Structure 1
Amino acid sequence: MDREPAPGPWSHPQLLAALGGQDWGAVLRTYRKLTGLSQTKVGELVGLAQSDVSDIERGRRQVTSSEVRARLVGGLGAPDQRRDGARAHGAAPVVGLALSGPGPDEDLLARVASVVDSRSRVDADTLDWLDRLLAEHRRAEDVLGSRPLVGVMRQQLRTVVDMYASARGPLADRVVRLASEHAQFLAWMAQDQDQTAAALAWYDRSHEWALEAGDADMAATTLNMKAHQAWSKGRATRCVRLAEAARWSCPGTSLGVRGMATQMAARGHALKGEADEAHRLLDEAQAIMSRAAEHPEDEPPWMYFYSPNWFTLQRGMATLHLHDWSAAVDQLTAGLSAMPDEYRRDKAWFRTCLAHALAGAGETGQALAVATAVVPDAAAVGRPHSWNELHTTAAVLTRRSPARGRQLVAALRDFD
């Protein structure tokens, strides 16, 4: 008989998701957070030194040995996952259902399980439910950051792919489209964690599936996000080329997707120091986004965050690249004032950009105040991008005001 879930921390969906995704760093971090145990104590439970636990948590050591995996599972009292993976401990067929709030009725839940287990016919209600689940996970990632959700989304994508064999007609196209959206989300989360190769592989898979499903919006979005990745790595020319490909190679995209591609090209030109072209494209993008805002119902669901206010923040980042510090401060301040608090990860990022702009403008006291206030969120949900931007700000502050630069460095060290 299968063992029932262990009481205590193993009833928590975030810990189960980490275990389901074999993310052992997340398993150890979440287990310690839920139990209050130190790395030393956890090491005693699983037969590892404290330094080994620390290295696994920080991603400096990968768990590849079956012996170590067995020690981790046994020592932490993890539920048995040998039968049917995630469903061995009685979870719903998709691990992410535990995070999704109210689930479907019992009949719909049974249909999802039947589809996965026996290749029964897929129906529209099942796919509607998975659409809603994906939308909820996107919004959860805004608050939690990407790391806790990776294992969940990998399992969810496996469920979607398993449905393809039993889908017929238009429903088969919907399954492929849903798989493309899941792959794009996984790519974004890999990019958020600075896993460049994994992100590119997922974007390529998402793009392929989007083309197969005839989804121009997702095909263009994957190119947009690859442009964003190039921008984040300082590859300005590649950023521009990919953004231009998103603008012109996928006809029929929504205004919002088109506006995103246009501002992405502008940011690439700004990174190259080409102010005139950057401002021209930013003005074009702003006009497109204003039109898109008149009919938000026409936008694909993953564009829920993109709005004229969000565009103001994008303009602020481009202006920051052009070293127009005062304008960047104004734009980032205006955008942040209207950004909802639930966008915790993104709010941390734009606040670090604001701190950088203030430091560049010589407003060192304000820069230090903004930077130190955002350090906890940047450490919790903003690594590595927000965290790296804070280090850049510390360097700018050190040049302009060594004492304040040292203060920020000290604040960062407290969270390292």
Structure 2
Amino acid sequence: MEDALSRDVWSHPQLAAAVVNEDWGAVFRTYRRLTGLSQTKLGERVGLVQPDVSDIERGRRRVTSVEVRQRVLAGLGVPADLQPSRALPTSGGSPVAGLVVPGAGPDEDLLARVTSVVDSSHRVDVPTLDWLDRLLAEHRRAEDTIGSRPLVDVMRQQLRTVVDLYAGARGPLADRVVRLASEHAQFLAWMAQDQAQTAAALAWYDRSHEWALEAGDANMAATTLSMKAHMAWSGGRGDRCVRLADAARWSAQGTSLGVQGMAAQMAARGHALNGEPGEAHRLLDEAQALISRAAEHPADEPVWMYFYDETWFTLQRGMAALHLHDWQAAMDHLTLGLDALPDEYRRDKTWYRACLAHALAGAGESAQAVSVAVASVPDAAAVGRPHSWNELHATAAVLLRKGAQEGKQLVAALREFD
């Protein structure tokens, strides 16, 4: 377990950047913070005594020996693609798989620059950053269909590419690189959240928020807080959801109407989770007004808000009604939203169908609940674990608790994919 954790920490951008920059004090400090190792235990891994580890962390000693440097790389299991001595080919090599959008490849020179370690400022230019923006947008939309699991490693590699770019960026380009890193970290956080990896998601959201503030990106800074509110809501923590959503609303001035609307509806869902219909409905009405105004000026919204429109808001109203046990309103809103939701949003359609099944079960519509739930099982098993999968199990529990025989039918369908 410890070895698996040690390998996974290298996806953290701060640790990756420290290795690339050969800042061994930062490497030791960050590695220990992420793994929980003591200075003594880390020293055992790299062949150093505890006082030497302490001196390196405090900057009192520098790692100048090639032999010590190699012991650190080997002892901490630094991936080959992060090791400073490794030079990726600038031409003729195989491109990183995740940096290729089918049917829309860049010219060879641009692809070489994007997939190579940047070692001079002339490699950081507008076409390169435009291409990385486009890649991120394509992968966001791909995740809607295929889920997060196939994309995690791809996006980690892309973030490493962006981190490498920072060393060669100057002026406005440096600001843009930091903004791009913030967007990648937010997407990685969302994917970790989608897989119920709470600690990793929180770490990525914190990193994204910090980079957003550095880049002066109020929309992303507020979005990361809204997404942390969503995490709190997912964990059944209504009060924390409201506090984080309120922070998203008021801490970042100059945010877009859509970003403000997202924060307002997250606060509403927190109040709904707490069984507070008055505040929930007030904030939902406020959010709807913001979303409607945002729809009049779509170009003013950040690119990652592409999904958030009247259809999504209708679904969020359904979720709030579900928490308030207003089964009829939940069924009405979820059905209306699902009918309008495009098929390419496979993961999300699976989630909201599972929620609709839950609402139907709560309303006593057992046969219809099982019909919707059973039809959702294959997609929930493929792209909806753990959230949609857990919601279907919750639906089965509601049916069984109500004494509905159909609950056993749903349990049997779920077991086929367990």
TM-score after normalising by structure 2: 0.78
1-side partners of 2:392 and 2:134: how far apart? Answer: 35
Contiguous gaps of at least 5 residues in structure 1: 1-21, 24-79
Q: What does residue 368 of structure 2 align with?
A: 366
Change in Cα spacing, 1:122 to 1:329, as seen in structure 2 (3 Å) is same
2-side partners of 1:137 and 1:366: how far apart? Answer: 35
How many residues are matched? 338
Q: What does residue 217 of structure 1 align with?
A: 219
Q: What does residue 327 of structure 2 align with?
A: 325
1-side partners of 2:407 and 2:92: how far apart? Answer: 50
Q: What does residue 146 of structure 2 align with?
A: 144
Identical positions, percent = 78
Q: How does 1:244-263 map to 2 (within 5 A)?
A: 244-263=246-265
Q: Which has the larger radius of gyration?
A: 2
C-alpha displacement at 1:97, in angstroms? 1.8
| Counterpart among 233, 236, 240 of residue 234 in structure 1 | 236
Change in Cα spacing, 1:341 to 1:85, as seen in structure 2 (3 Å) is farther
Change in Cα spacing, 1:253 to 1:407, as seen in structure 2 (3 Å) is same
Q: How does 1:101-180 map to 2 (within 5 A)?
A: 101-113=103-115, 116=118, 120-180=122-182
Contact 2:88 2:117 in 1 (8 A): no
Contact 2:89 2:116 in 1 (8 A): no
2-side partners of 1:89 and 1:171: how far apart? Answer: 27
Contact 1:325 1:361 in 2 (8 A): yes
C-alpha displacement at 1:120, in angstroms? 3.9
Q: Secondary structure at the match of 1:116?
A: coil
Q: What does residue 94 of structure 2 align with?
A: 91
1-side partners of 2:182 and 2:356: how far apart? Answer: 34
The amino acid of 2:231's aligned partner reads Q
C-alpha displacement at 1:91, in angstroms? 2.8
The amino acid of 1:91's aligned partner reads S
Q: How does 1:12-411 map to 2 (within 5 A)?
A: 90-92=93-95, 94-113=96-115, 116=118, 120-411=122-413
The amino acid of 1:295's aligned partner reads H
Q: Deviations over 1:277-306 (max 9, x none)?
A: 000000110111010111111110000000
Q: What does residue 72 of structure 2 align with?
A: none
1-side partners of 2:341 and 2:119: how far apart? Answer: 43
C-alpha displacement at 1:117, in angstroms? 5.2
Q: Deviations over 1:233-285 (max 9, x none)?
A: 00110000000000000010001000000000000000000000000000110
TM-score after normalising by structure 1: 0.78
Contact 2:159 2:185 in 1 (8 A): yes
1-side partners of 2:260 and 2:335: how far apart? Answer: 25
Change in Cα spacing, 1:110 to 1:231, as seen in structure 2 (3 Å) is same
Change in Cα spacing, 1:114 to 1:405, as seen in structure 2 (3 Å) is closer
Change in Cα spacing, 1:113 to 1:277, as seen in structure 2 (3 Å) is closer
Contiguous gaps of at least 5 residues in structure 2: 1-6, 9-79
Change in Cα spacing, 1:126 to 1:87, as seen in structure 2 (3 Å) is closer
C-alpha displacement at 1:384, in angstroms? 0.4
CA-atom RMSD in angstroms:
2.1
